[in-house]
Amino acid sequence: MNILYILFLVSFVSSKKVFIDNDGLSALQVLFPLKAGWEIVGISGSFGSSSAVDSMGAGYDVLKTYNLTSCIPHYLGAQQPLLRNQQTFDYWQDMFGELIWQGGFSHSYQDTYSWDNFTYNDSIPGALAMIEAVKANKDTDPVYIWAAGMMTTVAQAISLYPNLVNESAGLYIMGGYFDTQYAAASGTPIVNDINTDINLIQDPEAAQIVLTADWNELVIGANVTNYLVPSQELYDRLIDKAHGFTTIEDDPYFGELSALLATGNYTENTSEEKLPFWDEVVTAFMVWPDLIEDSSDFSVAVDTSFYSPFYGNLRIWGHDYAPKGVKTGNATIINKITDSRFYDLLVDTYFEDWRQYCSVKGPVELDY
């Protein structure tokens, strides 16, 4: 037994665990927990901003690029919202205004992947895999659930197994903006887009079920995630670290980083490549809570009245003023993290080699 193996056993036994559901997947959402010594007990891909097949394809590409397919199981999560569908999504927009970002409900949406582009564990659905993971670890290392898209897969799991909420360590979500109406109304299309809460809007009923369940801990990313964004300064740092842009362009290992940088020129690109680091920010403060500089506790609920301009939006109240006629949950909303350390972690993580992770449980030095 060599030292590396002993270290591996020690870290494995005491490691925190997370199950991730998302409607897409970013590299850092996977690599940050691994860097912090967490174990990812499963990932599910669901309908939402992408079609189910594209969420699975994006997830597979991340796992494949970093050679993680053999130790991080990948499942298919919710393929549609609980109640909302294309027709009601369209009717609602006719009544209350069009959303800039309609994700998988956009009429111009076209799949990028097909099901034979990738493999995944199709023996059980994502919600069941989530339940199994929570049950298996409840007495030793309760699993954190990290829902980065719609809340549908988690709602399915709660319906099948209500103890999910008290046998897990807690729930982290991406979404739940507030005070964004002015920014959405007066901003450019991209500003409107990033101030609209699509993750909750696409399945308001699931969001209400999940956010008002009695979790041991419920942490919402919301506004703070919009404050950490790419910039030319960050691009330059990444390019410098690579000793030139061509290294990133040419090496398939940098495929995910290359998608972030596009041409390497921040002003040339206008939308996708400039989106805030939404899921990455929530992932970072989940695994490194000392990044958090400011947070607030609120009672929360999701508007589930179809005939409401706020259908699918998070509502927040001080505990003393929370409504009694509707179920509310207790949430911690993160307001501020240490930005500079977040960017440092981002740069470091991309330039470590994760392809040995399944054997050595950590990164090794990257040769580039």
Q: Which residues here bind ligand NAG, judged by CB under 6 A?
A: 57, 67, 70, 73, 112-114, 117, 121, 123-124, 129, 132, 138, 163, 166-167, 179-180, 183, 195, 214, 223, 232, 262-263, 265, 267-273, 319, 330, 335, 355-356, 358-359
User: DSSP string spanning 264-322?
Assistant: S-GGG--SGGG---HHHHHHHHHH-GGGEEEEEEEEEEE---SSSTTTT-EEEE-GGG-
Q: How far is the CB of 146 from ligand NAG (least distance, A)?
A: 18
36 vs 273, beta carbon nearer ligand NAG: 273
Q: How far is the CB of 171 from ligand NAG (least distance, A)?
A: 13
Q: How far is the CB of 181 from ligand NAG (least distance, A)?
A: 9
Q: What is the dihedral of CA 187, 190, 196, 198, to 10 degrees?
A: 170
User: DSSP string spanning 300-312?
Assistant: EEE---SSSTTTT
Q: Which amino acid is at 155?
A: A
Q: How far is the CB of 168 from ligand NAG (least distance, A)?
A: 9
Name the 3-class secondary structure at 147.
Answer: strand
Residues sharing a CB contact under 8 Å with residue 238, sequence separation 6 or more, in sequence order: 248, 257, 260, 261, 347, 350
98 vs 320, beta carbon nearer ligand NAG: 320
Residues in the chain, total:
368
110 vs 267, beta carbon nearer ligand NAG: 267
19 vs 105, beta carbon nearer ligand NAG: 19
Q: How far is the CB of 118 from ligand NAG (least distance, A)?
A: 8
Q: How far is the CB of 165 from ligand NAG (least distance, A)?
A: 8
90 vs 217, beta carbon nearer ligand NAG: 217
Q: Which amino acid is at 308?
A: S
72 vs 89, beta carbon nearer ligand NAG: 72
CA distance 297 to 65: 38
